[in-house]
Amino acid sequence: LDRFDVIVIGGGIIGLAASYYLLKAGKRVVLIEKNEFGSGASCACDDAIFFQSKKPGINLELTLGSIELYKSLSGELDIDLEFENSGGMVLIEDHEQLKVMEQFVKEQNSFGLQIEILDKKDILKKQPYVNSDIVASTYCKKDSQINPMRVMRGLISKGKKLGLEIRKSSKIIEINQRKDGWSIRLDNQKIIESEYVVNSAGAWAADIGALIGIHIPIVPKRGQIAISEPVPALGETNVWSAQYIVTKIAPELQMNQSEAYKRLGIGLALSRASTGNYLIGSTREYVGFNKNTTVEAIQIILDEARRLFPVLKTVHVIRTFAGLRPASCDGKPIIGEVTDKRGFYIAAGHEGDGIALAPVTGKVIADLISGKKPMYNIDELNLKRFNN
Ligand SMILES: Cc1cc2nc3c(=O)[nH]c(=O)nc-3n(C[C@H](O)[C@H](O)[C@H](O)COP(=O)(O)OP(=O)(O)OC[C@H]3O[C@@H](n4cnc5c(N)ncnc54)[C@H](O)[C@@H]3O)c2cc1C
């Protein structure tokens, strides 16, 4: 029998960030991962800390905090996290999109972001290869990127130095509440006990909830991505289509789209990794735990990329993959202690924002468990908002 202060469930970027900040707060932590680290969404995703896709409110507020923590982590972890701050642009293709984006930018700027709307001349200075039909573009200097795989590697190796215990290839088959905390039974029949549990099982968080009789409304939302061969940068910043913003945070505003675009939830994101490979995504699909890619979706994503940047027609795609975003039904993560389950915390449901929000989520969870006032008031993110 093992006893720890905290059992963290799930070795994705959220579980690893929570473990790291808990260890820094002096807690004894065991991290349980049913497969391998990063086998969920956190190694099958993009790399954006993308402010422009956050609705004004708690998600945007937390992203502002998270980027500061990433800057500190870049010094704390013994690995280059490939943090880059080159800004981001949302490409606008017609006047209908422009109206939608102008309103959205106004709301975000009133929240403190500084987003400009660029005209064609300024767009071409930053994106010389963009399709000449583009009518306008947003530009936000704050938009950044980070390599999630490096973040995870850094958190694992620093975590180990701080005493992190790891149980990989370990499936949890039973969770029981006890007088003094929690006990967990693994499929090898080993029992681990702790005062606190953190459920950071991503798209699988609901399965863990079911083991203690609670309903956690998180489902997988598939995203498919194509990776290009390494090429020189197309422009100064990473880019997104205006359709991406609408698909992600304002689907009620569906702009002119084909049936397939709507069904697959297409929205173009074009991000250049430090190696020169472009990450070309993506879809937003509800297909259960199916992680396959489809010819139809990849073809549409690539057509979209080549339409906006015709020069990409000559660039090869070297691989494709899909990841399962942990999606809650209101687009916000679920973070906090579960009512009537003392010591049981949830840190999941970050959908398309988990890379951006990992450090702030980990820090807030560590503060709550250590009895400190967290750096943000996250009451609105508690599971109880769904009347659970
Ligand atoms: C195509 C795509 C693009 C994306 N782009 C971005 C982006 O640019 N920026 C951004 O911020 N976010 C992005 N995301 C979202 C981001 O990837 C996720 O929000 C984030 O990875 C979620 O991390 P997680 O740790 O909660 O989940 P996961 O990484 O899925 O980790 C959960 C872990 O729990 C483990 N697990 C499950 N069940 C159990 C169990 N019973 N016992 C033990 N372990 C268990 C799983 O094996 C898994 O390793 C993207 C996602 C996709 C799919």
Give how far Cα 273 sits from Cα of 2, 49, 81, 237, Å.
41, 13, 12, 11
Kindly report, residue by residue over 267-322, the tens digit of the pLDDT: 999 999 999 999 999 999 999 999 999 999 999 999 999 999 999 999 999 999 99
Q: Which residue has the higher pLDDT, 262 or 137?
A: 137
Residue-level pLDDT at 100: 87
Q: How confident is residue 254, by pLDDT bands cut at 50, 70 and 90?
A: low
Q: Among 42, 219, 222, 321, which residue has the most ligand 1 atoms within 8 Å of its CB, making it the best to mutate?
A: 42
Alpha carbons 179 and 160: distance in angstroms, whole number: 30
The protein residue with its alpha carbon nearest to ligand 1, atom 21, reads: 42
Query: How many CB atoms are located within 10 Å of the residue 36 CB?
Result: 11
Q: Which residues of 272-310 are buried (b: 16+ CB within 10 A; e: fewer)?
A: bbeeebbbbbbbbbeeeeebebbeebbebbbebbbebbe
311: CB partners within 8 A, 6+ apart = 129, 234
- Which amino acid is present at 96? E
Q: 324 C-alpha to center of ligand 1: Å? A: 7
In whole angstroms, give the CA distance from residue 194 to residue 176.
11
Distance 208 CA to ligand 1 centre (A): 15
- pLDDT at position 248 is 79
Contact at 8 Å (CB) between 87 and 141?
yes
Q: Does 326 sit in the ligand 1 pocket, CB within 6 Å? A: yes
Among residues 17, 303, 4, the alpha carbon closest in space to that of 167 is found at 4
166 vs 56, more confident: 166
CB 27 within 8 A of CB 366: yes
pLDDT (tens digit per residue) in 27-79: 999 999 999 999 999 999 999 999 999 988 999 999 999 999 999 999 999 89
Asked if pLDDT for residue 388 goes beyond 60, the answer is: no
pLDDT band at residue 256 using 50, 70 and 90 as cut-offs:
low
CA-closest candidate to residue 333, choices 308, 360, 354, 310: 354
For residue 250, the model assigns a pLDDT of 73
189's torsion region: left (phi>0), alpha (psi -120 to 50) or beta? left
Alpha carbon nearest to ligand 1 atom 5, residue: 46
With a 6 Å cutoff on the Cβ, whether 159 touches ligand 1 is: no
Instruction: Decide if 49 contacts 145 (C-beta within 8 A).
Output: yes
Q: How far apart are CA 20 and CA 208, in angstroms?
A: 21
What pLDDT score does 253 carry?
Answer: 67
Question: From CA 221, how far away is CA 99, in angstroms rounded?
Answer: 28
Tens digits of per-residue pLDDT, 149-163? 999 999 999 999 999
Dist. CA 112 → ligand 1 center (Å): 29
Mean pLDDT, rounded, of the chain: 95
What pLDDT was estimated at residue 1? 67
Q: Give the tens place of pLDDT for each residue, 198-240.
A: 999 999 999 999 999 999 999 999 999 999 999 999 999 999 9
**pLDDT band per the 50, 70, 90 thresholds, residue 262:** confident
Residue 361, Cβ neighbours under 10 Å: how many?
A: 30
Q: At what angle do helices 354-369 and 13-24 cross, to 10 degrees?
A: 30
By alpha-carbon position, which residue is closest to atom 52 of ligand 1? Answer: 45
pTM (2 decimals)?
A: 0.97
Average pLDDT over residues 114-138: 96
Per-residue pLDDT reduced to its tens digit, 311-355: 999 999 999 999 999 999 999 999 999 999 999 999 999 999 999
The CA distances from residue 320 to 226, 278, 323, in Å, are 4, 12, 11
Tens digits of per-residue pLDDT, 239-250? Answer: 999 988 888 777
